[in-house]
Structure 1
Amino acid sequence: MPVKPTVQPHLHLLAKAPLPGQAKTRLIPCLGPEGAAQAHATMVRHCVATACQALGAPNVTLWTSLEHQHPLFVELQADYGISLAAQQQGDVGMRVRHALNSALGPAMVMGTDCPSITVGMLKQCSEALKNVPVVILPAEDGGYGLIGTHDDHPSLFEDIPWGTEQVFKITRQRLAALALDVTFPDTMWDIDRPEDWQRWQRLRHAQKPNTRG
């Protein structure tokens, strides 16, 4: 199927509601249940803002889980004008595949625990998807933080050991078996553990402008 250069990919973000004890549970030893939920909300806000800045709110959908009408989701829809949709039931692969195939045209899916994905990286992925059938942002931990496609490729999402360091390796093997060209514009990292959260906090602090006169 020929790639249409004028078609802007739609970006789908996957997010849990920031419910204490159910969001970012591996941060609880460091931040406590409430703190982990607040950290998750901070990441979701950051990723939505980044997505809208990179691609424009009409090209962004936030797929929700746990509590679809949570105040955070309502706030983000009101502030940015993004679309909201309820995530498909099932494992990560089923939910990612459902979002990718929810409308015609090229699409990308990204988690909301990936604040290392920048505006520039999203624009790179969007541009790359004009020329190749698949784009992926590999993660440092062996997974990936974003995947973009033009067509449905079920084998990329079935029987994958999600949450392990084998995800990216197996996905590349599936791509090779399908003879699909793919590009990897950059590498990212996500926030799962306390040291990941601390890494992002240091990065945010370093990026704050120095206001001292």
Structure 2
Amino acid sequence: MPVKSPVLPHLHLLAKAPLPGQAKTRLIPCLGPEGAAQAHATMVRHCVATACQALGSQHVTLWTSLEHQHPLFVELQSHYGISLAAQLQGDVGMRVRHALNSTQGPSMVMGTDCPSITVAMLRQCSSALKDVPVVILPAEDGGYGLIGTHDDHPSLFKNIPWGTEQVLQVTRQRLEALSLEAIFPDTMWDIDRPEDWQRWQQTLKHANSL
């Protein structure tokens, strides 16, 4: 059944502190530990800026891990006025579910390694969530970069093969089993490997040349 919620969803962003050797480790072969950490910080800044532009900072929470009072997080909170919260210990599903259930009303969760998610895409997802129980932005690699819900659906997050190309497929099966309608407004890609980073740099270069 249509949800018909007029409430703007809250957006939860999950971010590691940009510590060398612990953030974006698969970028280390091309950028080195410091460079990979700096790249991660750049992505976090980009995603927070995009989120605040799309929904307003009062609707954005940055969930931190590794070092909760890292200067990057303090800087972003000071600059944008967003909320900060410490991520729950556990796997991806536990952390995503905890964030989704931490605020009243509809909410969405996305990672901060997804700079391909634009303001327009976030607004699409926000609009779609007014009418359906679940919204998802599929990723090119078989996962997803954002999920939004109105209610708690534990089976969407338990025993999911996180980090594999089966994530979206299994999630779709769970949605079907729950008889939940979902909308998939667009497709995104995240930055895991050196070629992904290079792709984003080319994307930025193209955008800046327009």
Counterpart residue number, 1:32: 32
Q: Please give the alpha-carbon distance, in whole angstroms, between the structure 1 residues aligned to 2:59 and 2:4.
A: 16
Task: Give the equivalent residue in structure 2 for 1:183.
Answer: 183
For 1:187-198, what aligned pairs fall within 5 Å after superposition? 187-198=187-198
Query: Using the alignment, how far apart are the partners of 1:123 and 1:48 within structure 2?
Result: 14
Q: How far off its partner does 1:2 sit?
A: 6.7
Q: Quick one: which amino acid aligns to residue 191 of structure 1? A: I
* Residues 75-114 of structure 1 mapped to structure 2, 5 A cutoff: 75-114=75-114
Q: Deviations over 1:77-127 (max 9, x none)?
A: 000000000000000000000000002100000000000000000000000
| Aligned-partner residue type, residue 99 of structure 2 | A
Mapped partners of 1:118, 1:4: distance in 2: 24
Local SS of the residue matching 1:19: coil
- C-alpha offsets along residues 105-158 of structure 1, whole Å, 9 cap, x if unaligned? 000000000000000000000000000000000000000000000000000000
Q: TM-score, normalised by structure 2?
A: 0.98
Query: Take 2:69 and 2:137, find their aligned partners in 1: how far apart are those partners?
Result: 30
The residue aligned with 2:57 is: 57
- Show structure 1 runs of 5+ residues with no match: none
Q: 1:191 to 1:122 in 2, by over 3 A?
A: same
1:17-67 CA deviation, whole Å, 9 max, x = no partner? 000000000000010000000000000000000000000000000000000
Q: Deviations over 1:150-176 (max 9, x none)?
A: 000000000011000000000000000
- The whole-number CA distance in structure 1 between the counterparts of 2:203 and 2:91 is 31
Q: Quote the offset at 1:69 in angstroms.
A: 0.2
- Aligned pairs for 1:147-186 (under 5 A) are 147-186=147-186
The residue aligned with 1:116 is 116
Q: What's 1:204 paired with?
A: 204
Q: Structure 2, unaligned stretches of length 5 or more?
A: none
SS in structure 2 of the partner of residue 208 of structure 1: helix
**Cα distance, 1:5 vs structure 2:** 2.9
Root mean square deviation, CA, Å: 1.0
Greater alpha carbon shift after TM alignment, 114-123 vs 201-210: 201-210
**TM-score with structure 1 setting the length:** 0.97
Give, in whole Å, the separation in 2 of the partners of 1:85 and 1:125.
23
Look up the SS of the partner of 1:180 in the other structure. Answer: coil
Matching residue of 1:144: 144
Residues 164-191 of structure 1 show CA distances to partners (whole Å, capped at 9, x for unaligned) of 0000000000000000000000000000
Q: Which amino acid aligns with 1:204?
A: L
Deviation at 1:4, TM superposition (A): 4.5
In the TM superposition, what whole-angstrom CA distance separates every residue of 1:3-25 from its partner, at most 9, and x where no partner exists?
35321100000000000000000
Q: Which amino acid aligns with 2:92?
A: V
Q: Distance in 1 between matches of 2:103 and 2:2?
A: 18
